[in-house]
């Protein structure tokens, strides 16, 4: 969506786009700046972001990539269906019938989509800054815990309390991302390692809080906090189902993230840093501050996902309330090509898998863990996408050298000229 929606119609338009677009700008500046200026050697993501930028040059290409990736991942999981002794037709009907077959089924799919969507946004925001926040699961758990505790202990009118819970969840998630953010910005510690450590800390803290002798455990329910007061839960928006107003919160989050990323200076700086750290630093962006900001925003979204789940579905915090939403969120963000609208589509796909996995286990005998395998396959195919696109362009233009193909057919002429002047890699 947004900056890179339309293919350039004229030379002028494309030049203007080049100036406005941090990814194209980073392309034009080449990688040389990156290598000489960046103190962190592990800048991996810019290529990925640049790839998404090119692949999403036009809407059709984006949709095609999306569908092909899903198809590839589903085809690759067919052997598992045979191993489980089930047949393809039964599996398909169980999955899609279970997820989309009736009104309540669709509502349940939407319920599953809410945390996946918000958590997917959390991962995507960090990715835009070239940061891999693999700790969304921990931020989601801790955000949910904080929201649950605030809901159970603070004395406020219901609606105010609901808002307080949601804000507290976001602050909790952001705080949980703060330590990795500071370590990344000032010590250069890779965020993947530190956010994973925080995941285990989050599990430990949340289990401790609601352990039998823990400080916040409910009197009537083990491994949970007390129920939030009447009226504090997110209201149900589809009578007779579990579908709650969290869906509106999620869609609002999509709109806000889109606006901030693509329409504000801060979003521009964030994406510029993600595309080329050297270029960002040269144009006056504080890498340290942007890194912290991006991870805090990502953590806050993770915490929001947890708070919404706690307030919308259970009305209390359960220590085991997340079946790995934070990990599936990685696949959601990548499959959605990091665009907020794409995240809605891929969030829906994974929601279908989650909602359909229950009948899948009951009818076709396929373990729920297969959702994880499909996420993994999706992520694997996304990782391999640049290579597949290269192959594809190689077939179409066998004479052009590799570097030029990588710079992409969609690159505006201005950027291409610069690209051909840069040092051969």
Give the torsion through C-alpha atoms of 184, 188, 191, 195, to 10 deg. -70
Per CB under 8 A, contacts with other proteins among 54-83 are 80, 83
User: 151-184 burial by CB neighbour count: b if 16+ within 10 A, else e?
Assistant: bbeeeeeeeebbebbbbbbbbbbbbbbebbbbbb
Q: How many residues bind other proteins (CB under 8 A)?
A: 67
How far out from the chain centre does Cα 107 lie?
Answer: 22
Give the torsion through C-alpha atoms of 254, 325, 115, 22, to 10 deg. -10
The one segment of 15-23, 89-97, 152-160, 188-196 that binds other proteins by CB under 8 A? 188-196
| Beta-carbon contacts of residue 197 (< 8 Å; ≥ 6 apart) | none
**β-pair partners for 244:** 236
330 binds other proteins (CB under 8 A): yes
Residue among 266 and 373 whose Cβ is closer to other proteins:
373
405 binds other proteins (CB under 8 A): no
Q: How many CB atoms lie within 10 A of CB 26?
A: 27
Interface residue with other proteins, options 45, 124, 125, 332 (CB under 8 A)? 45
The one segment of 37-45, 230-238, 277-285, 414-422 that binds other proteins by CB under 8 A? 37-45
Q: How many CB atoms lie within 10 A of CB 230?
A: 8
At closest approach, how far in Å is the CB of 121 from other proteins?
Answer: 18
| Residue linked to tokens 């926040």 | 133
User: Burial, 383: exposed, middle or buried (Cβ in 10 Å; 0-12, 13-18, 19+)?
Assistant: exposed
Q: Fill in the per-residue mask, 105 to 134: x = in contact with other proteins (CB under 8 A), - = not in contact.
A: ---------------------------x-x
- Cα separation of 45 and 50, whole Å? 9
**Rounded (10°) angle between helices 246-263 and 265-275:** 80
Per CB under 8 A, contacts with other proteins among 331-370 are 331, 334, 366-367, 369-370
At closest approach, how far in Å is the CB of 192 from other proteins?
Answer: 5
At closest approach, how far in Å is the CB of 158 from other proteins?
Answer: 31
425 binds other proteins (CB under 8 A): yes
Q: Are 296 and 171 in contact (CB under 8 A)?
A: no
Per CB under 8 A, contacts with other proteins among 367-396 are 367, 369-377, 379-380, 382-388
Residue among 192 and 260 whose Cβ is closer to other proteins:
192
Q: Fill in the per-residue mask, 245 to 284: x = in contact with other proteins (CB under 8 A), - = not in contact.
A: ----------------------------------------
Q: Fill in the per-residue mask, 161 to 180: x = in contact with other proteins (CB under 8 A), - = not in contact.
A: ------------------x-
State how far the alpha carbon of 117 is from the alpha carbons of 84, 278, 286, 307, in Å: 30, 32, 30, 13
Q: Fill in the per-residue mask, 192 to 211: x = in contact with other proteins (CB under 8 A), - = not in contact.
A: xxx-xxxxxx-xxx-xx--x
Interface residue with other proteins, options 118, 119, 150, 183 (CB under 8 A)? 183
Per CB under 8 A, contacts with other proteins among 288-327 are 327
User: 396-418 burial by CB neighbour count: b if 16+ within 10 A, else e?
Assistant: eeeeeeeeebbbbebbbebbbeb
Dihedral angle sign, alpha carbons of residues 127, 130, 135, 139: negative
Interface residue with other proteins, options 9, 12, 60, 187 (CB under 8 A)? 187
Enumerate binding residues for other proteins (CB under 8 A). Answer: 39-45, 47-48, 80, 83-85, 132, 134, 179, 182-183, 187-190, 192-194, 196-201, 203-205, 207-208, 211, 213-214, 327, 330-331, 334, 366-367, 369-377, 379-380, 382-388, 402-403, 424-425
């Amino acid at each position: 969506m947004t900056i890179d929606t339309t293919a350039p119609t004229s030379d002028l338009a494309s030049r203007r786009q080049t100036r406005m677009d941090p990814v194209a700008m980073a392309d034009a500046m080449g990688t040389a700046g990156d290598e000489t200026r960046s103190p962190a050697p592990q800048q991996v993501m810019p290529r990925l972001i640049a790839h998404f930028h090119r692949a999403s040059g036009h809407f059709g290409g984006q949709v095609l990539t999306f569908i092909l990736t899903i198809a590839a991942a589903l085809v690759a999981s067919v052997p598992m269906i045979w191993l489980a002794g089930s047949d393809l037709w039964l599996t398909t009907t169980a999955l899609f019938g279970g997820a989309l077959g009736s009104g309540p089924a669709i509502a349940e799919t939407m319920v599953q989509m809410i945390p996946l969507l918000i958590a997917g946004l959390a991962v995507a925001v960090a990715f835009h800054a070239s940061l891999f926040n693999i700790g969304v699961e921990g931020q989601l758990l801790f955000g949910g815990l904080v929201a649950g505790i605030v809901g159970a202990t603070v004395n406020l009118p219901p609606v105010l309390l609901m808002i307080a819970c949601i804000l507290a969840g976001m602050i909790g998630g952001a705080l949980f991302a703060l330590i990795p953010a500071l370590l990344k910005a000032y010590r250069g510690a890779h965020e993947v390692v530190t956010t994973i450590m925080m995941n285990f800390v989050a599990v430990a803290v949340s289990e401790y809080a609601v352990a039998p002798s823990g400080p916040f455990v409910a009197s009537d329910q083990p491994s949970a906090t007390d129920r939030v007061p009447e009226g504090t839960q997110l209201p149900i928006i589809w009578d007779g189902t579990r579908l709650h107003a969290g869906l509106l919160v999620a869609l609002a989050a999509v709109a806000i993230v889109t606006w901030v990323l693509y329409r504000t200076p801060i979003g521009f700086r964030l994406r510029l840093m993600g595309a080329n750290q050297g270029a960002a630093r040269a144009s006056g962006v504080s890498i340290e501050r942007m890194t912290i900001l991006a991870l805090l925003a990502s953590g806050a979204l993770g915490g929001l996902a947890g708070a919404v789940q706690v307030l919308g579905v259970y009305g209390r915090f359960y220590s085991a309330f997340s079946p790995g939403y934070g990990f599936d969120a990685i696949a959601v963000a990548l499959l959605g090509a990091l665009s907020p609208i794409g995240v809605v589509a891929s969030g829906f796909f994974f929601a279908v898998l989650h909602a359909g996995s229950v009948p899948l286990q009951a009818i076709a005998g396929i373990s729920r863990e297969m959702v994880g395998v499909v996420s993994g396959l999706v992520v694997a195919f996304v990782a391999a996408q640049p290579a597949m696109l290269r192959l594809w362009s190689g077939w179409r233009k066998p004479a052009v050298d590799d570097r030029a193909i990588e710079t992409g057919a969609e690159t505006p002429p201005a950027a291409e000229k610069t690209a051909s002047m840069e040092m051969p890699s």
